[in-house]
Chain A
Amino acid sequence: NAGVMQNPRHLVRRRGQEARLRCSPMKGHSHVYWYRQLPEEGLKFMVYLQKENIIDESGMPKERFSAEFPKEGPSILRIQQVVRGDSAAYFCASSPRTFLAKNIQYFGAGTRLSVL
């Protein structure tokens, strides 16, 4: 059973460009979460999605950031007009839809975004 897959692992963008980060959850998992880790800082929750629905986006910056989890395909975290402060590691996690899951989240290896 493959784990959470994120790609690309490393992404370099110039200021003003768009960054698209992809996350394929573990098989059978219908809940996806995105987290950001700024250099030398802790992990911060950004957004929680189920298929075709955003459940909680309380951690998302108000501008330039968006996320989706379509019926088919991976979840996408999109950052428009990137700035240097967006340079960070972005982690995706997934969880199955069952009470037995007890809030356990399984994380991918992350995408390291560098903005030049």
Chain B
Amino acid sequence: DAKTTQPPSMDCAEGRAANLPCNHSTISGNEYVYWYRQIHSQGPQYIIHGLKNNETNEMASLIITEDRKSSTLILPHATLRDTAVYYCIVRSPMSSGGGADGLTFGKGTHLIIQP
């Protein structure tokens, strides 16, 4: 799996857009970028994923640079409930077993939304 680098912490004002960066300079051609988050004392939650095109869903947007060496997760209107640790994970979508491999979680970015 490609290694990812994220800032350890970020602050964002409530109602503003939160932009969380992730560097993955060693990403290979078949690897996707996934974002998960973990709100304190809860299980991780899938947010979004992408290969090379920008993606948007009801939770967030994912912007991937053209060379795919970095990406940004955007929470368009952050709320206090978005305070969590956000994990950027890069890996291929399928293992040889036909399913998905176990995820490798780094330290992530602790996003704190300020009122």
Contact = CB atoms under 8 A, between A and B. Distances in A.
A108 B41 CA distance: 11
Contacts of A99: 93-94
Nearest to A57: B102
B106 interface: yes
Interface residues of B, number: 26
A105 B100 contact: yes
A85 interface: no
A97 B99 contact: yes
Interface residues of A, number: 32
B68 interface: no
Nearest to B107: A42
Contacts of A43: 38, 44, 103, 105
Interface string A83-101: 0000000010101010101
B93 A95 contact: no
B44 A107 contact: yes
Given A102-B32, A103-B32, A103-B34, A56 B45 contact: no
Interface string B71-97: 000000000000000000001111101
Contacts of A101: 93, 100
A46 B101 CA distance: 11
Interface of B: 32, 34, 38, 42-46, 49, 91-95, 97-108
Closest 8 CB pairs of A and B: A45-B102, A107-B43, A103-B100, A31-B99, A43-B105, A102-B93, A55-B97, A103-B93
22 contacts: A31-B100, A33-B100, A33-B103, A35-B102, A35-B103, A42-B105, A43-B38, A43-B105, A45-B102, A45-B104, A55-B95, A55-B97, A56-B101, A97-B98, A99-B93, A103-B34, A103-B94, A103-B101, A103-B103, A104-B100, A106-B46, A110-B43
